[in-house]
Structure 1
């Protein structure tokens, strides 16, 4: 759905994204994949700049984005549009402000509602403004779907495919404390892995067999297999499938096998994340716990994944393994807290990204 007024007709969107690796040349991806019939989207002007916090930018860093040399572009329904590469001194781990003046559609807007980051929406063209003090604040990313960084041949990217736990539900907004964020910081601090980018492809409510957003196996091609520079995949899906009560452990295992098969065909190494405990949550029932344990046992022992990341072992309560340990629980007994997300990232062996 489009944002409430001022909406996306003759509006400026300033969106903030934390990059994982740095470089000297970048480009930005915009998607109109889920627009309604006949709903083309027009970018009238776009620029990137270093964010100085909130809606403000460092104006001396601002660079215009172009599309085949033009400052405006029409993005037809269903299309992905990638800007021209531009010279830009991008520091690893920095916050990048992507500001676009759009004339968008009125329904079926392509975006990511669980941004955990504030987007600023202002009427008219305010692309070049240092600050947008009168902007409406939203918690969704609209149209923007990625930042590509030109990196050395030795570099690569890991895609984190998941649901709301990967999306960061329960983390403090505007602090970049999702577990992929903590992982990116760890990779950047380690000399052997500092050229490893992290792509968060978590969608709240997602699953292998449905839920919110396209099912994982449907979006696998777009969100994982065709991402530039991808070399590794971490899979953390299944809790929403099991929690529905309609999907068996065997069905989740089959979906994981299919994910591994398709990723291996593209030369990716695939790492399986065990499913976190949900005791005390609305999902929890004894039969759901039995299915979760069965899936996790398969992940750990089947050898189907190239390696296992045991998130369950890292966050479960040793006195009640069906529940998250208290410090790792955001309070709903399903999603981790800031500390829980840090613990998840600490459970990842960085040597996995030297292979």
Structure 2
């Protein structure tokens, strides 16, 4: 991140307060040598998405896919929404072989202030000590923790992982396989992974469409994943990381599922290491969840919110790209008032000049014969969320030259 961006984020932290961080760095966004290679937006886990068994006294193995590689890493853990300390006895990284198995030859222990474990207070987060580790790009990495104590019912996590996690009783952090593990398609307690290297990151702020609804569990084929693969295969952008900051059911203006985008903006954009670009694809839940007679005002409020986020990002030296809201005709959000609001917002995104560039995802996956609806091949079946093919079409609609300067 540019030095000016670092200064602004430091000033933001000083004035806004926030959760304490422990470990190598209190704020990823202020560390110019580090680059976020993977991240997720954390929230208070809803009861239906809590772990299938109590996590205290277990080993939790979770799988992530970094976007760019490196040879020195650090891990961010979070208890931001917890009401009790999380006590972690050990954390290890290893290449994932699938089905909860790891490659033991790649197994390595993280430390926290020189110690193997760490206690994260309620509302807090922690960054591990840097670890020399050969991390290949776009390959699956297992993060395995021995969780000694944690609240049974108030858990910080990311429900929409679209990736299977594995839980076994006791301390099995170095086990090559976990054949008896309980399985759950959610993440808990992990928030980000950084690499120490040159490069820059794009943060994508969004809802379930960015979070991956309609993609395939464990296939890593959300549209941000496909974009990361495209960037990595292009020599001019191979050093660009992608951070998926989508939350299913999220809203911009108010707390729906997870904190409102305006409220999580610092944590999920400004404080991420190395962010130089931001893509905003969010607002459909604000529109779809509004009463018909409120939709026009919601559209204006969204436009004002985008302006606020643009100003805050620009103050931190981050360029902002506006993505148009994709069609939802025929879905449970469909109504004349909601469609009018979508058109109002999209017209502003395309023509206002407020964004540094526009990514027209509406045009990329709309049905040309019925433009208020999704292209049939791009529709996961509910008229709102993209299919696997739709995710690919969205990623392929992004001009990679946006990330070359």
Q: Which range, TM-score by smaller chain?
A: over 0.9
Say if 2:173 is the partner of 1:173: no
Question: 1:309 maps to which residue?
Answer: 359
Aligned to 1:100: 145
Superposed CA deviations along residues 62-101 of structure 1, whole A, max 9, x for unmatched, are 0001001100110001111011110111111110000000
Structure 2 residue corresponding to 1:7, chosen from 48, 54, 57: 54
The answer to whether residue 289 in structure 2 is matched with residue 244 in structure 1 is: yes
SS across alignment from 1:9: coil
The C-alpha deviation readout for 1:198-240, integer Å capped at 9, x for no partner, is: 0000000001122110000100000100100110000001000
1:6, distance to aligned residue in structure 2 (A): 3.0
- Distance across 1 between alignment mates of 2:180 and 2:339: 49
- Structure 1 counterpart of 2:336: 286
Among residues 365, 368, 371, which one is paired with 1:318 in the alignment? Answer: 368
Shift of 1:105: 1.4
For structure 2, which runs of at least 5 residues remain unmatched after alignment?
Answer: 1-46
Higher relative contact order (CA 8 A, sep 6+): 2
Q: Which residue of 2 aligns with 1:332?
A: 382
1:84 aligns with 2:122: no
Alpha carbons 2:50, 2:153 under 8 Å: kept: no
The answer to whether residue 262 in structure 2 is matched with residue 212 in structure 1 is: no
Q: TM-score scaled to structure 1, two decimals?
A: 0.97
Structure 1: gaps (5+ residues): none
- Report whether the alignment pairs 1:277 with 2:324: no
Match of 1:191 among 230, 235, 238: 235
Counterpart position of 2:29 = none
Q: Partners in 2 of 1:6 and 1:282 — Cα distance?
A: 33
The question of whether the paired residues in 2 share the 8 Å contact of 1:6 and 1:123 is answered with: no
The aligned length equals 351
Alignment check: 8 A CA contact 1:26 1:85 kept: yes
Matches within 5 A, 1:107-256: 107-152=153-198, 155-210=199-254, 211-245=256-290, 246-247=294-295, 248-256=298-306
Deviation for aligned residue 1:318: 0.1
Aligned to 1:25: 72
Q: Distance in 2 between matches of 1:125 and 1:220?
A: 36
Distance 1:4 1:75 in 2: 19
Q: Deviation at 1:191?
A: 0.3
Paired residue secondary structure (2:354):
coil
Report the Cα distance in structure 1 between the residues aligned to 2:376 and 2:197, rounded to whole angstroms.
40
RMSD of the alignment, in Å? 0.9
TM-score normalised according to structure 2 size: 0.85
The offset of 1:4, in angstroms, is 4.6
Kindly indicate whether the alpha-carbon contact (under 8 Å) linking 1:249 and 1:291 is maintained by their aligned counterparts in 2.
yes
Moved more, 24-33 or 242-251: 242-251
Structure number with the higher helix fraction is 2
Q: Deviation at 1:3?
A: 3.6
